[in-house]
């Protein structure tokens, strides 16, 4: 039990407003031992490394895009207009 919770329980019992029946009390909302660990500290070095990895990943994806997709962006919809006799082939084959 945390110190503040224990102090509140003692004050309540001393004032006569409650009684201590631990058998009928519900289980605590947080698991035992969760107050044993101090809060995490910000890790500046880890933040910088993860930021650099994110920038490298985005740069790599952009490099792949510009070397594979971007040069061929007009090849997909290229339509040849020099048909013999000026007749285009039908869409139904």
Domain count, the chain: 1
Q: Is residue 24 part of a domain?
A: yes
Domain residues for 37?
3-72
Global model pTM greater than 0.85: no
Q: Provide the pLDDT confidence category of residue 23 given band limits of 50, 70 and 90.
A: low
Q: With CA atoms as reference, report the closest residue to 2 among 29, 41, 40.
A: 29
The residue that leads in pLDDT, 3 or 91, is: 3
Q: Is residue 93 part of a domain?
A: no
Reply yes or no on whether the pLDDT at 66 is more than 90.
Answer: yes
Locus of tokens 């000026």: 86
Q: Is residue 80 part of a domain?
A: no
Each residue's pLDDT tens digit, 26-55: 665 665 666 788 899 999 999 999 999 999
Number of Cβ within 10 Å of residue 83's Cβ equals 9
Tokens of 33: 């031992």
């Amino acid at each position: 039990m945390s110190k503040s919770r224990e102090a509140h329980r003692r004050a309540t019992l001393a004032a006569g407003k409650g009684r201590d029946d631990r058998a009928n009390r519900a289980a605590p909302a947080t698991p035992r031992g969760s107050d044993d660990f101090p809060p995490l500290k910000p890790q500046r070095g880890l933040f910088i490394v993860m930021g650099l990895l994110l920038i490298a990943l985005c740069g790599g994806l952009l490099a792949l895009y510009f070397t594979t997709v971007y040069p061929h962006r007009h090849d997909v919809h290229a339509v040849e207009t020099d048909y013999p006799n000026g007749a285009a082939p039908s869409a139904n084959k």
